[in-house]
């Protein structure tokens, strides 16, 4: 029984497919320049327009969760672990279990707090409705 479960898990792992890179997804939200000041003053939609600029200015995987919070402030959303900075961005017409908007998440290494990967949930489709 346990072997069967492991085989099924392996099939799930191998069938997992990766989404478009987050940088390419973010460009679909807009090209407003990111500054910490503009981010703090921005609406959720305006913040979404700054995501691509942020990712161009900073190599996310060289940041820690603490540095992300200094740049972007406290999380405005939640994704699975308290350790992950997470921000709702973009149009609030987008709906998921995480809230209204896209959830921009910095997945971090749980031993040292360094960012390992950045994702948008849900993934941004080619053409927004």
Partner 1 sequence: MASTSVFQQLLQLTRDEKTFIFMYPEYATAIKESKEAAYVETRRRFGRNGQNDYSDAFRHCFWSALLSRDIGYAAALRFTTAHESSPTNDPAEREMDLHNNAVGLKIGRAKGSNQILSHRCMAALNARQLKVIEE
The residues of the shown chain that bind partner 1, judged by CB under 8 A, are 1-2, 5-6, 9, 12-13, 15-19, 65, 75, 77-78, 80-83, 86, 97-100, 107-113, 119-123
Question: Shortest gap between Cβ of 68 and partner 1 (angstroms)?
Answer: 13
Cα–Cα dist 34/26, whole Å: 12
Query: Measured in whole angstroms, how far is the alpha carbon of residue 97 from the centre of its chain?
Result: 15
Question: Shortest gap between Cβ of 37 and partner 1 (angstroms)?
Answer: 24
Is the CB of 62 or the CB of 97 nearer to partner 1?
97
Cα–Cα dist 106/27, whole Å: 17
Question: Shortest gap between Cβ of 82 and partner 1 (angstroms)?
Answer: 4
Is the CB of 32 or the CB of 89 nearer to partner 1?
89
Q: Running DSSP on this structure, what letter comes out for residue 60?
A: G
Is the CB of 1 or the CB of 129 nearer to partner 1?
1
Question: Shortest gap between Cβ of 24 and partner 1 (angstroms)?
Answer: 15
CA distances to 53, 77, 127 from 32, rounded to whole Å, are 7, 22, 19
Token pair, residue 129, equals: 């409705």
Is the CB of 39 or the CB of 79 nearer to partner 1?
79
User: DSSP string spanning 76-91?
Assistant: SS--SSTTS-EEEES-
Cα–Cα dist 9/118, whole Å: 24
């Amino acid at each position: 029984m346990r072997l069967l479960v492991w085989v099924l898990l392996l099939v799930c792992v191998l069938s997992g497919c990766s989404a478009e890179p987050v940088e390419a997804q973010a460009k679909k939200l807009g090209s407003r320049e990111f500054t910490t000041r503009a981010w703090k003053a921005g609406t959720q939609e305006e913040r979404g327009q700054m995501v691509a600029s942020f990712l161009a200015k900073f190599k996310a995987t060289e940041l820690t969760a603490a540095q992300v919070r200094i740049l972007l402030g406290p999380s405005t959303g939640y994704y699975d672990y308290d350790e992950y900075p997470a921000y709702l961005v973009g149009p609030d017409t987008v709906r998921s279990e995480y809230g209204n908007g896209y959830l921009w998440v910095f997945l971090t290494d749980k031993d040292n707090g360094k960012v390992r990967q950045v994702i948008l949930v849900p993934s941004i489709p080619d053409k927004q409705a």
